[in-house]
Amino acid sequence: MIKHPYKISQHQLNLPDQQLSYQLYKKACEGQPRRIVMLHGAGVAGEDTWAAIAMLVSQWDEILIPDQRGTGKTRYPDGEEHPFTVNELVNDIGALVDHLGWWQFDLAGYSMGGMVSLLYKQRYHERVQKQYLMEAAVLDRPSWESTVNLRLQFSEAAEQLKGDQAETGIKAFLDTISPNRKVAPQTELLTIQRLGARPLGFANALNCVTQAINSIDREALVAAQGDVSSFIGGHSVDLMHQYQRDLAERLPNWHYFMVPGTDHSLPFQKPRQIARIMDAELLRFLA
């Protein structure tokens, strides 16, 4: 049993239209703490996504893991599920880090959380230092047209999630996002249970990303980023790897890592390997 290096506390920030739940990981440090915010993807809460990686990284003194809208313990004040926009997700993170007085920090984002982190960096460039992406939404294909078409398939899955076909919708989502995944029955069941915790919240998250696609200038978004370490699952589609290789060859600040033996679920599948690279990449950045 590994002794956890952090003291973990659970909190809630009450915004006008959202009760934002978040976890803080803290360990003793001298001087200015090194901080990182970790943003989860659609459908699975922050703790489920990041807890293993947070326990294994060694370079940060404080870690902030929020539950974004529609997920985990974060709720609308009326307890119902409502549609939301990516702009609202970026605003939520902005309000949270302001509330905590985190004026500079590193930022990690997985899937939908990757898109939120890209947009946050674009808006508040000076506040974000080192960046980490794991299969960030909107960076999944070289062709923008095929990226948009992919989101339309997710919208179909979202419609099933809203009805009485939640499991069918989740399977359709998994088949679209991880077509080459190695399906082990026990793992698949756990994934479906995680994604099915709040099916309407998950549907709203998928629709949020699809809606965002219509307003994002991807070239401008990529150009606004700082030092990025981008992780892609080894079993993920070739086009995603191709686009990330292209970015790494074209941009001196873009660093692409293929994580063998994983698909889109890479933070759940290889947390130790990812944590090791995150630590090493921060040390390279600081050097």
- pLDDT tens for 55-95 read 999 999 999 999 999 999 999 999 999 999 999 999 999 99
Structure tokens at 54: 């947070």
20 pLDDT higher than 60:
yes
Q: Is the pTM of this model over 0.85?
A: yes
Half-sphere exposure of 151 (CA within 13 A, CB side): 25
* Residue whose C-alpha is closest to residue 247's, from 107, 139, 146, 145: 139
pLDDT band, very low/low/confident/very high, at 24 (cuts 50, 70, 90): very high
Residues in the chain: 287
What letter would DSSP give residue 217? Answer: -
Instruction: Give the residue-averaged pLDDT of 238-249.
Output: 97
pLDDT at residue 237, as a whole number: 94
**Segment among 3-7, 83-87, 112-116 with least mean pLDDT:** 3-7
3 pLDDT higher than 80:
no
DSSP characters over 170-202: HHHHHHHH-TT----HHHHHHHHHHHTSSHHHH
What is the distance between the alpha carbons of residues 78 and 60, in angstroms, rounded to a whole number? 36
* Residue whose C-alpha is closest to residue 135's, from 155, 115, 150, 152: 115
Summarised one tens digit per residue, pLDDT across range 29-61 is 889 999 999 999 999 999 999 999 999 999 999
121 pLDDT higher than 90:
yes
Instruction: Give the residue-averaged pLDDT of 139-152.
Output: 89
What is the distance between the alpha carbons of residues 113 and 46, in angstroms, rounded to a whole number? 10
4 pLDDT higher than 80:
no
pLDDT band, very low/low/confident/very high, at 266 (cuts 50, 70, 90): very high
Contact present, 162 and 192 (Cβ < 8 Å): no
What is the distance between the alpha carbons of residues 74 and 183, in angstroms, rounded to a whole number? 30
**Segment among 13-22, 94-103, 148-157 with least mean pLDDT:** 148-157
1 pLDDT higher than 70:
no
What is the distance between the alpha carbons of residues 42 and 44, in angstroms, rounded to a whole number? 6
Contact present, 252 and 100 (Cβ < 8 Å): no
Provide the sign of the torsion angle of the four alpha carbons 78, 81, 83, 86, taken in this order: positive
Mean pLDDT, the chain, whole residue set: 95
2 pLDDT higher than 70:
no
Contact present, 43 and 205 (Cβ < 8 Å): yes
Q: Helix crossing, 46-56 with 271-286: angle to 10°?
A: 60
Q: Read off φ and ψ for residue 118, nearest 5 degrees.
A: -60, -45
Summarised one tens digit per residue, pLDDT across range 172-198 is 999 999 999 888 889 899 899 999 999
* Residue corresponding to tokens 């003793």: 28
- 93 vs 150: which has the higher pLDDT: 93
